[in-house]
Amino acid sequence: MGKATRTTKLLLDLGKRDQGGANTAKQAALTATVEVLNAARGFYINFFLAHPDKLAERVLYYSEQHLEMRERAISAHELLTWAETCTVATKAHPHPWPGWDFSERFPEMPCEYRRSVIKDAIGKARSYLSNLANWQKTGKKKGKPGLPGARNHPTLYQGLITLDLAQFSTKERYVRLKVYTGERWEWHNYPVRASRYFQRRLTQANWEKESPKLVLHKHEASLHFAQTKQITAKKVVERKQDPDLVTVGVDLNVKNLAVITVRQHDTIMKTLFVTDHGLDQARFKHLKRIAKKQHLSGKPVKGEHSNQELWRHVRRMNEDAAQKVARSIAEVCANYPGCVLLFERLRKIKQRGGSKSRRMNRKQANQLRGKINQYAKAKAFEHGVVTVEINPHGTSHYCSRCGAKGERFSLLGGKRITAKWGKLFACPVCHSQTNADHNASQNMHHSFYHEWHWRPQHPPPSPVKPSG
């Protein structure tokens, strides 16, 4: 049993007014809203850190399961009620604590926004106090946790946003938000960039929708709708006992971004190559321009970022490729319910030598592998597929047919060149020749089942010393 999560983005149109985008006043209202909520969040972080004993308070409750009174930590909802009682002026509590009058500092703030920042402040304060206590137990002088920051993406509870999915079938698509103009809180309509895909994804069955977040960046603003789904999946140990188990091995590379093989009953049933479509070469050209510009500009100034547009383009290329490859892997897993997804357990890949642009390109390629791994795990889990990271030792050096040690080579100008980066693999025992990435992908299944080279090697028993 587990919970799958996903996020659906709805972009706000901040383009030119004559092209259907929001005007400058509405854009300024979004910035003012985020700033005032950050200030309110900082107010409550300071409030909770000034009263740490309340966060650690234990309360009594009656356990219906054990039929007795028990003790538990105070809940976030109880802390929220206590914080509002101490800081917000109401008819029941007209006089807040001295120095902590929230109503005076943030007049007319909607209660939904106030409660969202209180919940954020509770989590940040508790996390800080927990990390501080763990650091104090270690007795170290360095590594003291810093105070929590107040910046966060605002959460839009019910009553702060109005979104009619029925209107998304028309050309005029708007979302209604309650924002701060700098003087008062008002409702404003914001044009959005949506599609039928967004509407279908948001209304998909078995997915519970949570409160959206307003994510404001320098060049764009968007609403992030988080969704959760309960997943029932067996453990890997239980699945291994199934004689009809299907395993999906994925070997991640540079040119062939993913080589997917599907195995059942000791037979490879399906193979799929997902290429980069020229991504590596295009990324290298952009990084070459960046390296050249950095060389011409000299030593960089601390705190300044150069070539921001080029770097943003490179990151978008990687992000797009990672999402597409992960979707291809998840689609293969969806065709085999109850299968196990296999990845190599790769942690440290250091690229040495070569020019600066080549080193940066290899670093970006390694980051892309990590993104594919992360996104594919999440997308596959939505279908009840569990992911396992197998031992990668020898997957590129042993034959997937007979288990003998072979060699990698490439053909350059009609000549065979043996190299560890070779695109082909040859076995001297069974004389088979195949694509090296495909051979590695097949060996991942052998590693998962502990076959051939990956059999567990038990150390010999130590000799028994004679008594006496």
The string of pLDDT tens digits covering residues 155-170 is 999 999 998 877 666 5
Closest CA to 445 of 309, 246, 279, 277: 246
Give the pLDDT score at 436: 94
Q: Which of 403, 407, 414 is nearest to 436 (CA)?
A: 407
- For residue range 241-261, what is the model confidence (pLDDT) as tens digits? 899 999 999 999 999 999 999
Q: Is 131 exposed, middle or buried (0-12, 13-18, 19+ CB in 10 A)?
A: middle
> What pLDDT does 172 receive?
66
Average pLDDT, the chain: 90
User: Is pLDDT above 70 for 177?
Assistant: yes
The tokens for 23 are 């005007």
Percent of the chain residues topping a pLDDT of 90: 66
Is residue 46 predicted with pLDDT exceeding 70? yes
Whole-model pTM over 0.75: yes
Decide: 47 and 87 in contact? Cβ < 8 Å: yes
Cβ proximity of 390 and 448 under 8 Å: yes
pLDDT of the residue at 386: 93
The answer to whether the beta carbons of residues 176 and 166 sit under 8 Å apart is: no
Higher pLDDT, 23 or 343: 343
Q: Which of 23-27, 41-45, 199-203 has the highest mean pLDDT?
A: 41-45
Q: What is the model's pLDDT at position 354?
A: 80
286-329 pLDDT per residue, tens = 999 999 988 888 877 777 778 889 999 999 999 999 999 999 99
In the chain, the percentage of residues whose pLDDT exceeds 70 is 94
| Pairing outcome for strands 247-252 and 340-344 | parallel
Is residue 468 predicted with pLDDT exceeding 70?
Answer: no
Q: Mean of the pLDDT values across residues 382-392?
A: 92
d(CA 54, CA 129): 12
- Residues near 283 by beta carbon (within 8 Å), at least 6 away in sequence: 314, 317, 318, 361, 364, 365
- Residue 251 confidence (pLDDT): 95
Strand partners, 343: 389
- Where are the domains positioned within the chain? 2-16+160-228, 37-138, 236-454
396, pLDDT greater than 70: yes
Spell out where 131-184 has E strands. 161-162, 174-180
Query: Which one is predicted more confidently, 171 or 93?
Result: 93
pLDDT given for residue 435 in this prediction = 94
pLDDT at 152 over 90: yes
What are the structure tokens assigned to 19, written together?
A: 């092209």
Q: What are 224's two structure tokens?
A: 């992030």
Confidence of residue 219 (pLDDT cuts 50, 70, 90): confident
